[in-house]
Structure 1
Amino acid sequence: MMKSIVLIGMPGCGKSTIGEMIAEKIAMTFIDVDVYIRESTKRTIIELFENGEDAFRDIEAKATEELSEKNPAVIATGGGVIKRYENIINLKKTGIIIYINRPIENIVADIDVVARPLLAKDPSQLYKLLEERCDLYRKYCDHEVMNTGSIDDIVNNIIEIHTRIKNDILKEE
């Protein structure tokens, strides 16, 4: 059975860019959870956060549950998806979870904080988010990939991991 590739990691670690490239290279559908949420609610992430983070996380949990039931895809999650264990359970049902670990200095150097509700008022919040989430990313992922080399190398590394797992599943069947 083909598994989805689920990308987790800090805001600005490259999940969407890397996910799109992987999907194109292996001919899978690409789904960005934040875009999926915007399209299904007809509201921006910033607007959804106006009702509080918990309200947004409820919507995100519903979206991850729906996406876990779809055909295999490359899924780029929001950075906080790991804050609710139910999201991880749903995403692991049909997916391989890859933690894209990018050094915080690299994220800070080029992240667009305007579109990110938890960072818009105070970009230094990124360090607090990393401290709060880093252990969860590592705990919940099936594989960790460092985003320090070329983007092509990272994409190829994730594709190799996916292919190896797919081949192991086929051997078991």
Structure 2
Amino acid sequence: MHHHRNIVLIGMPGAGKSTVGVVLAKTLGMQFIDTDILIQERAGRMLQEILDTDGPDAFKRIEEETILSLHSSRAVIATGGSVVCSEDAMAHLKSAGLVVYLEIPYAEMEARLKNITTRGIVLLPGQSLRGMYDERVPLYERYADLTVACSGEDLESVVENVIKAL
């Protein structure tokens, strides 16, 4: 395993990128970075606020700038679900790390996102959750170096499965 490289977690909202990321970083002795938190720090606002006030395009632009300004090594990086919508951001992340796709089926994502209005989920105008899911799956699959199925697995098993896959 390339210990100087980053491990980048991608996947649907609710897939567990942040929670898995923290435990993974702890287990591997790496730094942990959550790009959603960096975006909030950079913008001085909550994700949902940025989406409500400025709209999805502005949000994606801030997300892309935030990721392009990241120059870390030996970090586990949890990304926002919409990061795959930016080719530049993904190229930057892939150049410095291994991309791991935490895969969950639609029904599970829907169940995990009980309160969708405050989660800062980037839906295009008129786009349904299902539409967002179907649009992003091929993107996650395209950028993933490794895919780890997370359906019905508890946190510890997912972390174990990611480490095995690495």
Question: TM-score, normalised on structure 1?
Answer: 0.84
2:91 maps to 89
What are the ranges of 5 or more consecutive residues in structure 2 without an aligned counterpart?
none
C-alpha contact (below 8 Å) 2:103/2:149 kept by paired residues: yes
CA distance in 2, matches of 1:114, 1:53: 14
Once the 2 structures are TM-superposed, how far is the Cα of residue 119 of structure 1 from its aligned partner?
Answer: 7.0
Secondary structure at the counterpart of residue 80 of structure 1: helix
Once the 2 structures are TM-superposed, how far is the Cα of residue 150 of structure 1 from its aligned partner?
Answer: 2.9
C-alpha contact (below 8 Å) 1:113/1:119 kept by paired residues: no
Residue of 111, 116, 120 corresponding to 2:119: 116
Residue of 29, 35, 46 corresponding to 1:33: 35
Secondary structure at the counterpart of residue 105 of structure 1: helix
Q: Which amino acid is the alignment partner of residue 20 of structure 2?
A: I
1:161 maps to 165
CA distance in 2, matches of 1:110, 1:136: 21
CA deviations over 1:87-115 (Å, ceiling 9, x no partner): 11000111100111011211211213132
C-alpha contact (below 8 Å) 1:72/1:94 kept by paired residues: no
C-alpha contact (below 8 Å) 1:7/1:99 kept by paired residues: yes
CA distance in 1, matches of 2:139, 2:40: 25
C-alpha contact (below 8 Å) 2:10/2:17 kept by paired residues: yes
Aligned residues: 159
Secondary structure at the counterpart of residue 101 of structure 2: strand
C-alpha contact (below 8 Å) 1:119/1:125 kept by paired residues: no
Aligned positions of 1:93-104 closer than 5 A: 93-104=95-106
Once the 2 structures are TM-superposed, how far is the Cα of residue 116 of structure 1 from its aligned partner?
Answer: 2.5
Q: Which amino acid is the alignment partner of residue 114 of structure 1?
A: T
Once the 2 structures are TM-superposed, how far is the Cα of residue 130 of structure 1 from its aligned partner?
Answer: 0.8
Question: TM-score, normalised on structure 2?
Answer: 0.88
Once the 2 structures are TM-superposed, how far is the Cα of residue 157 of structure 1 from its aligned partner?
Answer: 1.9
1:169 maps to none
C-alpha contact (below 8 Å) 1:7/1:75 kept by paired residues: yes
What are the ranges of 5 or more consecutive residues in structure 1 without an aligned counterpart?
163-173
Once the 2 structures are TM-superposed, how far is the Cα of residue 71 of structure 1 from its aligned partner?
Answer: 2.5
Residue of 135, 140, 143 corresponding to 2:138: 135
1:42 maps to 44
CA deviations over 1:104-137 (Å, ceiling 9, x no partner): 21121121313234479x9x92211111100010
Identity %: 35
CA distance in 2, matches of 1:32, 1:115: 17
Max radius of gyration: which structure?
A: 1
